[in-house]
Amino acid sequence: MTVAPDEPRAPTRPAAPTAGTGLRDALHAEWTKLRTAPGTFWLVFAVVALTVAVSSAAAAAARCPATGCGQDPTKVSLTGIYLGQVAVAMVAVLAMSSEYSSGMIRTTLAAMPHRITVLAAKAALLTGLMLAAGALAVLGSLLAGRLILPGHGFTVAHGFAALSLADGPVLRAAAGSVLYLALIALLSLGAATAVRDSAVAIGLVLGLLYLFPIVAGVISDPHLQRHLQQIAPMTAGLEIQATTGLRSLPISPWAGLGVLAAWAGAALLAGGLLLRLRDA
């Protein structure tokens, strides 16, 4: 008799944990998809490799002939972020849009009808993945800068100490660059969720990143130029790398990263809303 009341309860028991661990299941499912997609490994590898390679090349090309050469060694050794972010954007765009191009999204949403959970799981995984890859890329770049730059005039005699994470501004630049890459991933994920097609999404993201500074470069009005630099996701976001001449920056380092975070948040919000409202 005691068994009988348990009988009808049995089917509800699996249901209750499902609601509670929805995010954990979603994370597991999304991680499996991300891990097994053919391009992910190579793209994450490319994030690290491109960043370190371009940073090393920039460090090798930089020269500081005398004191007051106006160079920022931290910024020079993190130049590779400009290219590395492209691979980050691709990972994030493909994480969403490849589901649309293969039709997988219908299976995903049938299995997990709570669509925002799917997006949140993808966002969380991409953030974690990019924080890890970004940390590797940034540390590799700074190490390359530390080894290469003193040979090119960035010496104590010219007023530059060797790059070290124990130095407050350098640590801020390094940590900020890692966060920057993670925010670029979120911005790209939001854009890809909103427009669904991978080509359009990547075009949109790269346009957003590169066009602002190009347009700002041809505007001669200094006020308007400054405003454009303050709202541009890449220009404002990468001010986090500056360690010298902080007063002349169009926007302070952390505020600049905040601007990028706002762009990423807006993209995720737009993507999330469209994902909820639209048919898959």
Partner 1 sequence: MTTTTAAPDRAATRAERGGFSDLLHAEWTKFRTVRGWVTGMAVAALVTVLIGLLSAAGSHTSCNGRPCHFFYPVGPGGEAVTDSFYFVHRPLAGNGSITARMTSLTGLLPTASGGRVRAGQGPRSGMHPGLEPWSKAGIIIKESTRQGSAYAAMMVTGGHGVRMQYDYTQDAAGLPGAVTTASPRWLRLTRAGDTVTGYDSADGRHWTLVGTATLPGLSSTVQAGLFATSPAYSVTTAQGLLGMSGTGGPTLATGVLDRVSLRGGRPAAAWSGTAIGGGPTAASPVQGGGYHLAGGTFTVTGSGDIAPDTPGGAGPGQTLDRTLAGAFAGLIAVVVVGTMFITAEYRRGLIRTTFAASPRRGRVLAAKAIVIGSVTFAAALVAAVVAVPLSSRVLRDNGNYLYPVTPLTEVRLVAGTAAVLAVAAVLALAIGALLRRSAVAVTVVIVAIVLPYFISVTNLLPAGADQWLMRLVPAAALSIQQTIPNYPQVSNVCSVGSGCYPLVPWAGFAVLCAWAAAALGLAVFLVRRRDA
Neighbours of 29 (CB within 10 A): 15
User: Is 177 near partner 1 (CB under 8 A)?
Assistant: no
Say how far apart CA 53 and CA 47 lie, in whole Å: 10
Q: What is the DSSP letter of 155?
A: S
Residue 168 CA, chain-centre distance (Å), reads 22
Choose, by CB under 8 A, the member of 104, 111, 116, 224 that binds partner 1. 224
User: Is 97 near partner 1 (CB under 8 A)?
Assistant: yes
Say how far apart CA 32 and CA 26 lie, in whole Å: 10
- Which lies closer to partner 1 via its Cβ, residue 91 or residue 268? 91
Choose, by CB under 8 A, the member of 20, 151, 159, 207 that binds partner 1. 207
User: Is 235 near partner 1 (CB under 8 A)?
Assistant: yes
User: Is 252 near partner 1 (CB under 8 A)?
Assistant: no
Choose, by CB under 8 A, the member of 18, 101, 107, 164 that binds partner 1. 101
* Cβ atoms of residues 202 and 193 within 8 Å: no
Task: Let me know if 233 is exposed, middle or buried by CB neighbors in 10 A (0-12, 13-18, 19+).
Answer: buried
What's the min distance (Å) between Cβ of 275 and partner 1? 19
Closest by Cα among 234, 180, 185 to 207: 234
Neighbours of 1 (CB within 10 A): 4
User: Is 219 near partner 1 (CB under 8 A)?
Assistant: yes
Choose, by CB under 8 A, the member of 202, 236, 261, 264 that binds partner 1. 202
Neighbours of 99 (CB within 10 A): 23
Which residues in the 135-154 window bind partner 1 by CB under 8 A? Answer: none
What's the min distance (Å) between Cβ of 3 and partner 1? 54
Choose, by CB under 8 A, the member of 8, 218, 247, 279 that binds partner 1. 218
Half-sphere exposure of 253 (CA within 13 A, CB side): 21
* Cβ atoms of residues 238 and 81 within 8 Å: yes
- Which lies closer to partner 1 via its Cβ, residue 26 or residue 62? 62
User: Is 55 near partner 1 (CB under 8 A)?
Assistant: no
What's the min distance (Å) between Cβ of 117 and partner 1? 25
User: Which residues are near partner 1 by CB under 8 A?
Assistant: 39, 58, 61-63, 68-72, 75, 79, 82-83, 86, 89-90, 93-94, 97, 101, 197-203, 206-207, 210-211, 213-221, 224-225, 229, 235, 238
